[in-house]
């Protein structure tokens, strides 16, 4: 029978599955809203639905330049969340590090001083807002002892969060003969993980318009530098993430903005100038919000279906939306859709409340399938001795 969800009174059909759902490559979809860019690499994803709105050579390996600093920040945020790094923890600027990352040839700088003690929090502002190469290396040394040891943490964490086609050789993305490379797809994954895993730290550090640190020579005046993010103050809801530029990489940007519950993440790379990066990034994000619409599917906490549980204290578990779920459609598309619940079943106990154990697959005539997670409504412990006997009896009776 059809289920009715949220405010919509249109029937949405659900099917459970014991194996992953497969879609044929021959499926025909309406044309996506057109967008043209001079960027050789571009990618955009709508986090509210999981829909990829645009992909242009998104899996091509490329040097990230300062966009690599997003990985440094992710590692630091993770340590802060675990209590292994404090925002007010002082870190000393080693004279040899200052010497290497001081002056015009060292690129973007926070204007640190040798032997200066700087808190981890201020170094993070220096990395995120000022793109300080010096701040990146000082923070990495303060955390892991050496930049090389910190880079090992970066690569370990990158693999864990799904950066399958990236490798880091430095903490700040400085050209290193090709040892450091990423893809636009992986940069979006990193941005999404940062926003999802550390929402409070993301709001605290990303999206700041400017930051003041260091003194001018001679007059000793404070040095205030502006964030290079081309969307801040231009696109409503823009709040991060990171620009990058080297002669090898060109001008790139990984950005995000949220409007009316829709959060988009975009990546552009290989642009010829700062002006082109600004113009193309603004046009890209505007297209994402204006040419597409969001259609609510399931409200947060609503039980969509139940799944069978194997070896658990309960034989079933509810599948609920961990957040408000939506589908992204071209602005002119029909709102008609079908939805399927997909999971590998029966699901083995133990199951933690909030654990991702199924997916909601939304099918429309205008877009490829859009997949969003469903989580366990409650904790299901492993069954005790008698529970396992009861489950065996039920299985045998079902076979008769």
Alpha carbons within 13 A on the beta-carbon side of 213 = 25
Cα 224 to chain centroid distance, Å, stands at 29
Using omega within 30 degrees of 0 as the cis cutoff, is the peptide bond preceding 360 cis? no
Distance, CA of 19 to CA of 346 (rounded, Å):
10
**pLDDT band, very low/low/confident/very high, at 3 (cuts 50, 70, 90):** very low
- At residue 145, φ and ψ (nearest 5 deg) are 95, -45
Q: Is the pLDDT of residue 397 over 70?
A: no
Would strands 51-56 and 90-92 be described as parallel, antiparallel, or unpaired? unpaired
3-class SS of residue 370: strand
Count of CA atoms in the C-beta half-sphere (13 A) of 46: 30
Residue 160 has pLDDT above 80, yes or no: yes
Token representation of residue 110: 């926070």
Q: What is the DSSP letter of 167?
A: B
Q: Determine which helix (DSSP H) or strand (DSSP E) holds 125, and give its type and residue range.
A: helix 120-128
Distance CA 140, CA 282 (A): 32
Say how far apart CA 281 and CA 252 lie, in whole Å. 9
pLDDT of residue 15 exceeding 90, the answer is no
pLDDT in tens, 222-246: 999 999 999 999 999 999 999 999 9
User: Could you tell me which residues come within 8 angstroms of residue 204 by beta carbon, excluding any fewer than 6 positions away?
Assistant: none
Q: Which of 43-47, 108-112, 375-379, 385-389 has the lowest mean pLDDT?
A: 385-389
Full DSSP string of 97-163: HHHHT-SGGG-S-----TT-EEEHHHHHHHHHTT--HHHHHHHHHHHHSSHHHHHHHHHHHHHHTT-
Question: Residue 121: which pLDDT band, with cuts at 50, 70 and 90?
Answer: very high
Q: Give 31-75 pLDDT, tens digit per residue.
A: 689 999 999 999 999 998 989 999 999 999 999 999 999 999 999
Kindly list the distances between the CA atom of residue 277 and the CA atoms of 54, 271, 272, in Å, as whole numbers in the listed order.
Answer: 17, 6, 8
In the chain, pLDDT over 90 holds for what percent of residues? Answer: 79
For all residues of the chain together, what is the average pLDDT?
A: 90
Residue 398 has pLDDT above 80, yes or no: no
Closest C-alpha to 235, from 267, 281, 271, 276: 281
List 243's β-bridge partners, or say none.
253
14 confidence band (pLDDT: 50, 70, 90): very low
* Structure letter (DSSP) for residue 200: H
């Amino acid at each position: 029978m059809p289920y009715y969800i949220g405010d919509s009174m249109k029937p949405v059909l659900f099917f459970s599955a014991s194996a992953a759902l497969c879609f044929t490559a021959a499926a025909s979809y309406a044309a996506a809203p057109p967008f043209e860019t001079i960027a050789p690499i571009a990618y955009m994803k709508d986090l509210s639905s999981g829909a990829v709105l645009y992909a242009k050579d998104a899996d091509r390996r490329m040097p990230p330049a300062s966009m690599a600093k997003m990985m440094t920040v992710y590692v630091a945020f993770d340590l802060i969340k675990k209590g292994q790094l404090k925002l007010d923890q002082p870190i000393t600027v080693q004279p040899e590090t200052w010497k290497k990352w001081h002056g015009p040839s060292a690129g973007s700088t926070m204007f640190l001083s040798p032997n200066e003690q700087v808190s981890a929090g201020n170094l993070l502002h220096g990395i995120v807002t000022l793109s300080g190469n010096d701040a990146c290396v000082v923070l990495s040394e303060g955390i892991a002892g050496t930049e090389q040891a910190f880079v090992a943490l970066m690569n370990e964490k990158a693999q864990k969060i799904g950066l399958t086609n990236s490798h880091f050789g430095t903490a700040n993305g400085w050209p290193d003969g090709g040892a450091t490379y990423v893809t636009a797809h992986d940069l979006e994954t990193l941005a999404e993980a940062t926003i999802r895993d550390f929402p409070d730290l993301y709001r605290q550090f990303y999206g700041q318009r400017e930051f003041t640190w260091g003194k001018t020579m001679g007059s000793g005046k404070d040095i205030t530098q502006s964030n290079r993010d081309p969307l801040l103050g231009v696109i409503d809801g823009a709040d991060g993430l990171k620009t990058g530029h080297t002669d090898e990489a060109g001008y790139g940007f990984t950005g995000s903005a949220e409007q009316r519950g829709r959060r988009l993440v975009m990546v552009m790379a290989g642009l010829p100038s700062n002006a082109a990066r600004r113009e193309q990034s603004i046009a890209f994000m505007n297209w994402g919000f204006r040419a597409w619409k969001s259609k609510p599917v399931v409200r947060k906490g609503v039980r969509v279906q139940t799944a069978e549980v194997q070896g658990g204290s309960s034989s079933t578990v509810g599948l609920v939306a961990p957040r408000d779920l939506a589908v992204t459609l071209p602005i002119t598309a029909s709102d008609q859709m079908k939805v399927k619940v997909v999971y590998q079943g029966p699901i083995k106990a133990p199951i933690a409340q909030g654990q991702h154990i199924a997916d909601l697959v939304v099918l429309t005539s205008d877009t490829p399938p859009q997949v969003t997670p469903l989580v366990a409504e409650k904790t299901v412990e492993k069954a005790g001795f008698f529970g396992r006997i009861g489950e065996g009896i039920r299985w045998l009776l079902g076979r008769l």
